[in-house]
């Protein structure tokens, strides 16, 4: 039963990430984040244009320059190199991407669970990163590289369209913000990305199990075996 459940859920991950997000209707338990991504992100943001590539072919060629022909894609080390080394991408974000964060981002997009990121997954990730960066910039009004942690509730609820309790929001604030001497709590962009990636991945994983265990309906609850729980959480 454990193997059947895990592989059945893993098979749902294949196919277009955009299609999977679009298949999620507005939910009283999870919010409308899927529909929001399709309507306001995937339909409006083009990563190669955002990074000032001349064409998508040029963007794709850059990806294949770093990819392994034998693997058919890139691993976390190559993703880290692209984000930190390619001039137009590096200058767009102006941060140093850590290998650990790149591993987390790759895991979010790794539909086949083979540790390899193909071009379509890479393009979708970069689309998400552009959107998250624009959202972050909207709240980083003084361009300090940080946003106030108290604004996180507004971002997650009104911009990302998740349904979270005050208690869950407090946990996110404590986990991903940093306190400074004047008493404020701030989030840097890489903290913000880390939060956004994990929130998306855990919500999708939990929601898929909810639907699977309740014949396509949603209850806001599901059951995990110990092994399945480890496969879900330890992959990120």
Assign residue 202 the CATH number of its domain: 1.10.238.10
- Which two structure tokens, joined as six digits, stand for 107? 């895991």
What is the number of H-type helices and E-type strands within the chain?
13, 3
In this predicted structure, the answer to whether residue 40 has a pLDDT above a threshold of 90 is no
Q: Shortest CA distance to 176 belongs to which of 142, 201, 153, 207?
A: 153
Q: Dmax over Cα atoms in the chain, in whole Å?
A: 53
pLDDT score of 61 more than 90: yes
Q: Kindly report whether the global pTM for this prediction surpasses the value 0.85.
A: yes
Check residues 107 and 112 and name the one with the higher pLDDT. Answer: 107
The domain containing residue 217 runs over which residues?
Answer: 2-234
Is the pLDDT score of 14 beyond 90? Answer: no
Query: Does 162 score more than 90 pLDDT?
Result: yes
Mean pLDDT of the chain: 87
Q: Give the count of domains, the chain.
A: 1
């Amino acid at each position: 039963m454990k193997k059947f459940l895990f592989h059945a859920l893993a098979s749902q991950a294949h196919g277009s990430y955009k299609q999977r997000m679009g298949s999620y209707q507005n939910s009283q338990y999870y919010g409308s984040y899927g529909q929001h991504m399709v309507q306001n992100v995937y339909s409006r943001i083009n990563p190669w244009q955002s990074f000032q590539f001349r064409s998508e072919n040029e963007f794709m060629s850059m990806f294949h320059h770093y990819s392994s022909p034998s693997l058919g894609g890139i691993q976390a080390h190559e993703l880290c190199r692209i984000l930190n080394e390619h001039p137009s991408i590096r200058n767009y974000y102006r941060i140093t991407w850590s290998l650990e964060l790149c591993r987390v981002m790759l895991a979010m997009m790794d539909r086949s669970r083979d540790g390899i990121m193909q071009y379509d997954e890479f393009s979708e990730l970069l689309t998400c990163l552009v959107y998250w960066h624009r959202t972050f910039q909207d709240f980083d009004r003084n361009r300090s590289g940080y946003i106030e942690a108290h604004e996180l509730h507004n971002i997650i609820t009104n911009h990302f369209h998740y349904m979270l309790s005050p208690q869950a929001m407090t946990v996110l604030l404590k986990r991903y913000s940093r306190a400074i001497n004047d008493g404020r709590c701030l989030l840097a962009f890489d903290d913000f990305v880390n939060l956004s990636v994990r929130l998306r991945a855990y919500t999708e994983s939990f929601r898929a199990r909810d639907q699977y265990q309740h014949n396509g309906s949603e209850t806001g609850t599901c059951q995990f075996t110990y092994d399945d729980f480890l496969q879900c959480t330890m992959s990120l």
